[in-house]
Amino acid sequence: MAKFEVVNHPLIQHKLTIIRDKDCSTKVFREVTNEIGMLMAYEITRDLPLEDIEIETPIMKTTQKQIAGKKLAIVPILRAGLGMVDGIMDMIPAARVGHIGMYRDPDTLEAIEYFAKFPQDIDERRVFVVDPMLATGVSAITALNQLTTKYNVKEENITFVCLVAAPEGIKALQEAHPNVDIYTAALDEKLNEHGYIIPGLGDAGDRIFGTK
């Protein structure tokens, strides 16, 4: 059974309140979004397997733990996903980074992929797909469709990471990809008629990059 977790650590909740505020500057929004990404990295990596290794301290030989298993990849959905990557990378600096870009066709409302570049061994990695806002779920589902069908990544090896989710997006994503773990810092009330999450934090991409 895949996990669905609202990461309610006090530091994350506090920082999320800072960026939800409409008067938060672009600079602070960007910094704090990365800080939340760093804190969420703790939770999303909690189940990584460990193995024993022999090392020698200045005092003696000893058996200690190191992370084992699959190598890691972070895949931000462009462009807002970029806002969390540096923070996550602070915690897992050896992870490779793939990118997937999508725009919403204004007529069909479908998500159209316009860019995708992944590590060549992405199907052998544990993959963290990152997008701050899980609204309708269309972009997330389309990105996961691509990863699972075109690049052969198994759902079991994918974790979807966001800051704010709408119940509609969670439901859609769980139905489309039932074996993908989902972590969010907040589960908000619902979507409004324009597809924005309420109360939400507005357009995450615009707020990260100062384009509004």
Residues that bind ligand URA (CB under 6 A): 80, 133, 135, 195-197, 200, 203-205
Is 108 a residue of the active site? yes
Task: Exactly one of 86, 96, 123, 206 is catalytic; name it.
Answer: 206
181 has catalytic annotation: no
Q: Please, what sign has the CA dihedral across residues 44, 79, 170, 145?
A: negative
In angstroms, what is the minimal distance from the CB of 87 to ligand URA?
17
Q: Which is nearer to ligand URA, 153 or 170 (CB)?
A: 170
Nearest distance from C-beta of residue 138 to ligand URA, angstroms: 10
Annotated binding site for 5-phospho-alpha-D-ribose 1-diphosphate: 79, 104, 131-139, 203
Which of 165, 161, 159 has its CA nearest to residue 84? Answer: 161
**CB 123: neighbour CB atoms within 10 A?**
15
- Cβ closer to ligand URA: 92 or 129? 129
- Of 96, 203, 207, 211, which one is the catalytic site residue? 203
In the annotated binding site for uracil, the residues are 197, 202-204
As beta bridge partners, residue 75 has 129
| Active-site residue flag, 125 | no
**How many C-beta neighbours within 10 Å does residue 35 have?**
19
CA-closest candidate to residue 180, choices 150, 152, 158: 158
Region for 165 from its dihedrals, namely left if φ exceeds 0, alpha if ψ lies in -120 to 50, beta otherwise? beta
Whole-number minimum distance, CB 90 to ligand URA, in Å?
23
Which residue is catalytic, options 26, 45, 96, 104? 104
Contact 180, 50 (CB under 8 A): no
Nearer to ligand URA by Cβ, of 64 and 211: the residue is 211
Number of H helices, E strands in the chain: 6, 13
Which lies closer to ligand URA via its Cβ, residue 15 or residue 126?
Answer: 15
Strands 50-56, 61-67: pairing kind: antiparallel
- 105 noted as active-site residue: no
Query: What is the spatial distance between Cα 190 and Cα 198, in angstroms, rounded to a whole number?
Result: 6
Query: Residues 57, 63, 107, 108: which is the catalytic one?
Result: 108
Residues in binding site: 79, 104, 131-139, 197, 202-204
Residue positions annotated with a catalytic role = 104, 108, 203, 206
